[in-house]
């Protein structure tokens, strides 16, 4: 497997941002790390190995990016609006700096896949729904989709609200966005075992909202033995990639 380490200085974030790529061909998958996680955790927890067959066969190429969660949603010393402002800078880094690099590096000019586990599930969903011009496929595993989980009741600030999928999707009326979602591939999955309570709640909320908007989505609830943990995410990611491959969506 072709594995490369990358790093460049982000003018938007004002810091070096490392990431790794895995593979030689195929549709790019942008991987967002779990809560406060780093770009190397996806490999360290066996997710790349679990997806090795799809990578080596040239169906997909993974780009595992770094987070700045500790400067945004996990910065408990900051006001919610400041958390959102810092996250919005991260959003711009991804769309304006990282994605152009990925396009040049991979030669892929079409829409991509967003994925992540736990807080990475939140990020992947938020990026997918905010940027349907960049992503046409979402695989969100055990995510949180209500920003109140991180900021409490401080959701009135516009920048906070616009990073809370259960809030902005409930009110979205823009037909361009709705059409993109309806033509996309949306997979949202949670287990029902240990430590999945918050994800179950938010996954159900997303399920209800998407149905109310006429947006097709595969919202999957795995069993009560399926915990909020990497061994299950490895199984889920393999499963959903196989389904996408069999449907010729990758």
Tokens coding 132: 């349907």
Question: Domain ranges in the chain?
Answer: 3-246
pTM: 0.97
Q: What is the pLDDT of residue 161?
A: 96
Counting residues of the chain whose pLDDT is more than 70, the rounded percentage is: 100
* pLDDT at res. 36: 87
Question: Does domain 3-246 match CATH 3.40.50.1980?
Answer: no
What does the block give as tokens for 1?
């497997």
What three-state secondary structure class fits 115?
strand
Angle 165-138-234 from CA coordinates, rounded to 5°: 115
- What pLDDT does 156 receive? 83
Residues across the chain: 250
Render pLDDT for 118-137 as a digit per residue (tens, 0 to 9): 999 999 999 999 999 999 99
CA distances from 80 to 13, 77, 147, 166 (A): 18, 9, 10, 17
Q: What confidence tens digit (pLDDT) does each residue in 23-37 have?
A: 999 999 999 999 989
* Per-residue pLDDT tens over the stretch 178-226: 999 999 999 999 999 999 999 999 999 999 999 999 999 999 999 999 9
State the chain's mean pLDDT as an integer. 97
**CA 231 from centre of chain:** 18
For CA atoms 231, 233, 238, 240, the dihedral sign is: positive
CA 60/CA 87 separation, integer angstroms? 27
pLDDT at residue 153 above 90? no
């Amino acid at each position: 497997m072709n594995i490369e380490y990358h790093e460049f200085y982000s003018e938007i974030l004002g810091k070096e941002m490392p990431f790794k790529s895995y593979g030689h061909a195929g549709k790019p998958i942008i991987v967002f790390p779990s809560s406060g996680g780093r770009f190397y955790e996806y490999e360290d927890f066996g997710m790349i190995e679990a997806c090795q067959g799809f990578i080596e066969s040239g169906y997909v190429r993974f780009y595992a990016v770094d987070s700045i969660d500790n400067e945004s949603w996990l910065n408990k010393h900051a006001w919610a609006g400041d958390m959102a402002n810092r996250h919005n800078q991260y959003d711009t880094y991804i769309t304006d700096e990282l994605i152009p690099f990925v396009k040049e590096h991979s030669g892929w000019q079409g829409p991509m896949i967003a994925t992540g586990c736990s807080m990475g599930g939140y990020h992947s969903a938020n990026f997918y729904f905010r940027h349907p011009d960049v992503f046409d496929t979402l695989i969100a595993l055990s995510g949180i989709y209500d920003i109140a989980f991180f900021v409490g009741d401080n959701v009135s600030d516009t920048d906070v609200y616009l990073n809370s999928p259960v809030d902005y999707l409930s009110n979205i009326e823009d037909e361009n966005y709705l059409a993109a979602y309806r033509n996309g591939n949306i997979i949202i999955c949670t287990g029902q075992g240990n430590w999945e309570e918050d994800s179950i709640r938010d996954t159900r909320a997303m399920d209800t909202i998407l149905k109310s908007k006429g947006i097709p989505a595969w919202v999957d609830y795995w069993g009560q033995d399926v915990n909020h943990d990497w061994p299950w995410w490895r199984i889920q990611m393999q499963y959903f990639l196989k389904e996408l491959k069999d449907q010729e969506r990758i």
